Structure 1
Amino acid sequence: MSGGIELAVLDMAGTTVADGGLVEQAFTAAITEVGVPGREFPAMLDHVHRTMGESKIVVFRALLDEQRAQRANRAFETAYADLVGSGACTEIPGAAETIRLLRADGIKVALSTGFSPETQDRILAALGWHGLADLTLSPAEAGRGRPYPDMVLTAVLRLGVTDVRRVAVVGDTAYDVLSGLRAGASVVAGVRTGAHDRDVLLGAGAGHCLDSINDLPELLAGKEHSR
């Protein structure tokens, strides 16, 4: 077993899934839906960029009152799901094969997201990924979204992992990194295929910064050889 790792918790959008800026498009649709003045949009969009990886309802609550936040979140999920259904969502090249390689090496894989379970299901269906991972999780199924450790710890419990130190967490945002650190994972890696760059990921505490998710098996194999 590579590096003693029993479980890899992998983010979706930006890490294993390329969505081509769909978050920004869906956010624009959501803000338009609730009637936010155009002059407020740039600051709101900046907040969205800085909090990539966080549960979307939490992002909207930071920007709007509760009633409008709920409306905006529903509009966002609808717009994002429609965009996914139109074929705008694709696999990060090699991601599915990487997941298969990890599982073949005895490592369980959980795919996590900041979206709703329904939107996550649309992404999985669009890519033909149902059954690809051992588990899929959203904040609604775990308690709280990133940067809290809930999704990682829920995966640990549901998949029967013996020790949080036998977990690897990988994502493209600072919030992915923080959730892994707070969960006690021994491997917390950022990837450069999504929202945040190397400096932001390392600044958040990532122990590794990978060019893509495809570098993860080699990283874990290297840790095994160093034992």
Structure 2
Amino acid sequence: MDVKKSVEAVILDWAGTVVDFGSWAPTSIFVEAFKQAYDFDVSLAEARVPMGLGKWDHIKTLGALPEVSKRWQCRFGRSMSDADVDDIYRTFMPLQKAKVAEFSDPVPGALETIALLRREGIKIGSCSGYPREVMDILMPAAAEKGYSPDAVIASDDLQAGARPGPWMALQNVIELGIHAVNHCVKVDDSAPGISEGLNAGMWTVGLALSGNEAGMTLEEYLSASSGYKAEKRALATDKLVTAGAHYVVDTIADLPDVISDINTRLIRGEKP
């Protein structure tokens, strides 16, 4: 494959994209961390809103959601402070580390898609909203089940920061030795992950049904009616397209056709 006219690398998110169908590991732990640290309730739906951000930023953003902030002020008589965020994050981290390996199963079709991309000469990068100490647990668990990307960047690896900035995606470019950023594809199930790819100058692909926006378990997805999936797909697609995704598909299993289309557009001289 001509590197000058084809995709060189795919940069994949982790939870909800390649592993952990529905992105349940971080979501459920945010709810538990708020409860343990302050005996304060947030819903799973609220916990999903900032998904894709680094976990400290996620907690801060979650606490600033209008309904959450209103309840917090009624309970404590003040807005959530950075010190409160620190407390919740300190509670969150051991809970997440204890549970993350349980959510390391590959999304159906992920391993087959990645194998196909590698046969095409495409490198596999990755980045995550998880910090390095969580990734150090998740990576070997995923490797045992067949997934080992060529590069892994965690949310706290870089001094510049994490999503929605471009830095983690661009660090993949450096570590993988990619020649052209516009020959990279960022794949994610969250709006901040799409923004990350756009800010890095990459093509972006949103995943509507395997990740955070749809919020289904694998069992729910497999048993869902076509009508229910259509409703979930429409809601998730709207959010991902609004974030700027060039493409939106159901799961990573649908990625090969997208890569083929991007290759055609690259041959025509198009850029993201």
Q: Are the structure 2 counterparts of residues 184 and 88 from structure 1 closer, same or farther at C-alpha, using a change threshold of 3 Å?
A: closer
**Alpha-carbon distance change, 49 to 161 in structure 1, aligned in 2, over 3 angstroms:** same
Q: Structure 2: how far apart are the matches of 1:71 and 1:103? A: 42
Q: How does 1:1-227 map to 2 (within 5 A)?
A: 1=1, 4-18=6-20, 21-38=24-41, 41-42=42-43, 47-62=46-61, 63=63, 64-85=80-101, 87-128=102-143, 132-142=148-158, 143-185=160-202, 187-192=203-208, 193-196=210-213, 197-225=236-264, 227=267
In structure 1, C-alpha distance between the alignment counterparts of 2:243 and 2:140, rounded to whole Å: 32
Q: Distance in 1 between matches of 2:128 and 2:259?
A: 22
Residue segments in structure 1 that go unaligned for 5+ positions in a row: none
Deviates more, 1:127-136 or 1:96-105: 127-136
1:32 to partner: Cα distance? 2.0
Distance 2:52 2:245 in 1: 15
Larger Rg: 2
Structure number with higher strand proportion: 1
Point out where structure 2 has 5 or more consecutive residues left out of the alignment: 64-79, 214-235, 268-272
SS at the partner of 2:161? coil
Q: How far off is 1:95 after superposition? A: 1.1
What amino acid is the match of 1:119? V
TM-score calculated relative to the size of structure 2: 0.74
Alpha-carbon distance in structure 2 between the residues aligned to 1:104 and 1:76: 39
Q: Alpha-carbon deviation of 1:145? A: 1.5
Identity %: 29
CA deviation map 1:109-157 (0-9, x unaligned):
1121101112122222222268721100112113311111111111112
